[in-house]
Structure 1
């Protein structure tokens, strides 16, 4: 019997959909899955008509994280501190490089958690622009069980998203959180009912496809810069970015159309 691909990639209109396809292995992130995900990210980046990339899964786990058994990647660790640090930086799965590319691409990534999301898959999710949860989803970093940290940008991205207060709960205390707790701390944007989750996720993605592409790309850059800069410098970033957008044809056309529609309603 031919094994199914570990990641299925389909397209629906302007949405590229990547679906984890190892439910019998709790959707553990194998070398094959990561290679296919990297290819999908590059396809999304290089295809102008694609406006949104959705990452989703099926089964009782969104993903159990890195595949600790299948690839042998974690079987032999370096025996020096510098070697371990370099191992984290250049994992054979290219996790860190793929996560960084997802953040850099000026188009939105959406991840949809229908169930438990842990470890490496949570690190991946934090590199997405929007995180959507089913009511039954939950989140955890199991690395603490082995006396280590989630080191593929896990600590650094989590602190940026939710702050040190909540990061201590997930990492230092090694406590899982449910979907509602994740929403409260800012880890997920929206929670949808389990029964309508897939339809709600697709509706959200379709909404994104209706937004102006230049605005969305510029907003990704501006938001990251403003997060890192003092307030007065951040205000300069928003003015600088907006001046570029307002000089473009899209703004002029959209504003002209909007003013015309207001006039027609008054008439």
Structure 2
């Protein structure tokens, strides 16, 4: 039986659907803030529950936890909100204290925000977060690995990269912002030259990697779930406009004293263990555009 948290979020909601499709609703439990009719669920009450909560609720057979629930900043200003970032640590600690006698594995969804700036990001890149959000995730990683070692539980730390696809419109990210501009017949604004490189991974690929991690039989350190689809911001806008068959204009806004920063990933470890093929970027962007277009109609 699989317990999954964060089922109301972008990744968590898709993950829940795919877990149910693969394992059956009877074998999935959502720890959530609001009821769901998709599967069994427990309300976490802001993670205020005693260690015997799951046993008393009749879910002592849980053998896998996928901890996707967390405070995730929707923009840069939220990344240093003290109380919200700290909740990532306290909520995880509450989950680790739970009495779940059949638990065998604990999968934690972390973030690339744990790393410092580097040319090509790998699992060996320096872990030096520049935000409280990143710091909270590093602390959770270390706490989980230590706890798992002491309790003979198999951990997996998955550091999730720049995910795109249907469902991300809740966040002020580049792709949904651009798509909204196209749908509203507004110009797309790009700050700077637009030559900054980004690397994206499609939501379905992320979910497939997470589910595949359930079957890993060893912990070989964190794995970055990141895309090899590299594209400049300017070319990203051009692809979206072409997909939409639109005449949307691109406006370049000068930003003095702003340094270009590229995000390029080496995802060879992910390919080795979890996902050997990614969806084509143009196809993925077309799917997201069509999804958002349908929402607006």
Normalising by structure 2, what TM-score?
A: 0.28
